[in-house]
């Protein structure tokens, strides 16, 4: 079993099974999540856990493991954004580390590949290879070091790997570990309606970002295959339910694509769609992706789109593009070496 994915209750049961006192569970958890070593070859050794007796370390070595993780390549953009290609066992994923005045933020992956197939996203072109474990998500954070904010917006759809994603949130926010606050975590989804409702029922205090990208079903379906399964009406009902249950604001991600979804009429339609909602709109001029000919909305038109929303009482901002020259901007991750 991958011990880094285990919570304290499970570790206590493990200690009982091998005849160790249960207080060892907290010692193991604290050591793993507060002092996790970034080994050069990505291979973890239980012998390094010097807060445990040798017989317990030997027992853990025979029963448990941690999936090897190591950084294969790092690319740094002129703006300081760092994209890392990480090998996790037999697969590769990417993370993006961003420096802000309020601290370091990391965009991590929840799957190797993705099966959602959004046409503006490079990750989806490879399809889904496999889900990541909570341990593998934690390691992405720990390899970066000194992270204050986490965005689950890298390779993969977090809600398509629901249980592991929820376990990751449990582990990364635990006060016996690194203790990152739930409000410093943002989960981005393309709109898996049943899983959004399940997430709402957990009443977490994380931030939810929903990829909208269109104000009608036809436009959204042209960009996102998931829209053929769940209509905008169904999606918005789930969003309203989420805010009612959690009292948390939703951020709607909207990739502005020239001639597709960026007209003033569509801005007014978006304002009408979101009227009365506890929300914010994040406008993102679509980033270039190999194999697609989508063009980003020009800055002037993007600002005009935002102004229409703002005048209608919908908070909106135009996201600045960072990391694009190393393919680290929104939608550009694909876990491919040298790009």
Q: What is the mean pLDDT of the chain?
A: 91
CB 105 within 8 A of CB 140: no
Q: Is 94 in the active site?
A: yes
pLDDT tens per residue across span 62-113: 999 988 898 999 999 888 899 999 999 899 999 999 988 888 999 999 999 9
Least Cα distance to 217 among 208, 227, 225 occurs for: 227
Asked if the model's pLDDT at residue 307 lies above 60, the reply is yes
Catalytic position from the list 121, 138, 155, 330: 330
Q: What is the average per-residue pLDDT within 270-288?
A: 94
Alpha helices in the chain (DSSP H): 8-17, 23-34, 54-63, 134-144, 162-173, 193-201, 217-223, 232-246, 264-274, 299-311
pTM for the full model? 0.92
Over residues 235-253, the pLDDT tens digits come to 999 999 999 999 999 999 9
Percent of the chain at pLDDT exceeding 70: 91
Whole-number pLDDT of residue 333: 47
Marked catalytic residue, from 59, 94, 136, 157: 94
pLDDT of residue 328: 44
Q: For residue 329, what pLDDT band results from cuts at 50, 70 and 90?
A: very low
Answer yes or no: are the C-beta atoms of 218 and 233 closer than 8 Å.
Answer: no
């Amino acid at each position: 079993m991958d011990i880094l994915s285990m919570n304290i209750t499970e570790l206590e049961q493990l200690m009982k099974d091998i005849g160790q006192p249960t207080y060892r569970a907290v010692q193991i958890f604290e050591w793993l999540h507060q002092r996790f070593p970034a080994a050069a070859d990505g291979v973890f050794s239980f012998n390094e856990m010097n807060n445990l007796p040798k017989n317990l370390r030997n027992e853990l070595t025979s029963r448990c493991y941690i999936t090897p993780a190591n950084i294969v390549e790092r690319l740094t953009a002129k703006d300081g954004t760092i994209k890392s290609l990480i090998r996790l066992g037999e697969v590769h994923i990417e993370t993006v580390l961003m420096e802000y005045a309020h601290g370091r933020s990391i965009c991590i992956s929840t799957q190797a590949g993705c099966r959602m197939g959004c046409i503006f996203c490079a990750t989806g072109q490879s399809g889904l290879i496999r889900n990541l474990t909570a341990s593998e998500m934690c390691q992405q954070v720990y390899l970066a070091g000194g992270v204050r904010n986490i965005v689950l917006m890298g390779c993969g759809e977090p809600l398509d790997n629901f249980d592991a994603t929820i376990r990751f949130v449990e582990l990364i926010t635990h006060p016996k570990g690194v203790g990152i606050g739930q409000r410093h975590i943002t989960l981005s989804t393309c709109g898996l309606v049943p899983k959004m409702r399940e997430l709402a029922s957990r009443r977490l205090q994380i931030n939810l970002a929903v990829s909208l990208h269109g104000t009608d079903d036809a436009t959204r379906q042209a960009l996102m295959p998931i829209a053929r399964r769940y209509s905008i009406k169904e999606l918005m009902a789930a969003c309203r339910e989420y805010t009612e249950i959690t009292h948390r604001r939703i951020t709607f991600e909207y990739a502005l694509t020239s001639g597709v979804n960026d007209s003033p009429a569509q801005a007014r339609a978006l304002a009408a769609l979101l009227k009365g909602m506890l929300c914010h709109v994040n406008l993102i001029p679509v980033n270039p992706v190999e194999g697609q000919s989508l063009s980003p909305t020009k800055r002037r038109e993007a600002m005009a789109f935002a102004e229409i929303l703002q005048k209608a009482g919908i908070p909106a901002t135009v996201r600045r593009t960072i990391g694009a020259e190393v393919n680290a901007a929104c939608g550009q991750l694909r876990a491919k070496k040298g790009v």
